[in-house]
Structure 1
Amino acid sequence: MAEGGPCSQESVPEESVRDAIEQACLRELEALKPGNVHVHAEGHGMTVDDFKASAAIAAAYLSRRSLSVGEKILHAVKDSVASVGCNTNLGIVLLCAPLAQAALAEGEGTLRQRLDRVLRSLSVDDARAVYKAIRIASPAGLGASPEHDVAHEPTVDLREAMAAAAGRDRIAFQYAHDFEDVFGLGVASWREALSVEIPGGMDEAEAAARVYLVFLGGFPDSHIERKYSAAVAQ
């Protein structure tokens, strides 16, 4: 289903969503990304095999039509941590879950139009599941929040909770702003990278690295900013 393509009443098959998510995770591992785990350098107590195992686990849950967005995230994160013993994919899962739900959804519209409906339908139960997933993953630099802290039970739906965190977390920003960065800067830079004419053509791993650098140059890394400082992130 194209982001801006023709309307469709057919949802994407579960196996297609699963394969797309897993393959995207594997391509990302092949990209040379400074400071991250990839096939060129492991680190931070994690291995490439940890990420491959987590990709398969996450893709299996994210592609299940019967699960809500919150359930997708909780099961994917919980089983990934149980399998590899650390947080390898919380951010990936948080970003992919609404997109997967939109692809799996019945009804007319482009992927982005379906995503809008998914985001508007997020519930307090989704927030409760996501809070639990975040506590399980226990990402570095999480800290405490004066509003809608994940250490407590949520009192608002997931999108409202994400909106409250959007100023300090770029993933939360996507939930509050219809995945603006993904469909804007992300898609544009991906297409531009693949269109670069070089001998042998641009492969997807190198294109992914270029997209990574575009994002790195466009926004301070909110994870680094929380963990260290705004100056370090810059």
Structure 2
Amino acid sequence: MTRLSVNINKIATIRNARGGNNPNLVKVALDCERFGAQGITVHPRPDERHIRYQDVLDLKEVVTTEFNIEGNPDERFIELVKRVRPEQVTLVPDAPDAITSNAGWDTVRHADHLRYLIDTFKADGIRVSIFVDADERMVEGAKAVGTDRIELYTEPYATHYADDREAAVTPFVRAAMRANELGLGINAGHDLSLENLQFFNQKIPGLQEVSIGHALISDALYFGLENTIQMYLRCLNRDL
């Protein structure tokens, strides 16, 4: 079964909109774990518009499932990750002013920089994943710089799913097959939802983990958090 890591950035967004500590980010993370999530993901940005750097420190003290910190590896991010030492760090090349992540790494062009970052984090025993587009050349570049896993950037799949789901998933299948050949672990994330997740999970060989935030938290407004997490977990059960 593919593992579900819940991205709780949107909970922090709601909290920050009003100030104070409601909803309580730490409690929500613990509830996600209690309801069946196998991991917690956070994506701190330099302006701390949702996840604050202190949130990451607070969560490290209580999260008992896999803790995944993702983000653009500037100096402050690197220092935070090395201090917290999560199970996984996911390197994402988003600009400081980006609303959300919108592209994967060019693993060939940025090979030297990525290799340095990967060596830095691995020295502290942290598993490293690189955010990449569904491009076999970028997957090969990821292998060359020494990453443990890739995270497939799935927004293009989600965008075209309703038009032709087979065509939408095909480049991701090819990228995943190449990753399998190279011995890379495979994660995926961005715009995965109850509508498109089950098909993606069934089609992608070797998919180990998905990180889902916006859609899952939005669904929880209608279905409740516990029920929503169970619904996503059922999408990830290949036996159903």
TM-score (norm 2): 0.33
Per residue, is there more strand in 1 or in 2?
2
Per residue, is there more helix in 1 or in 2?
1
TM-score (norm 1): 0.34
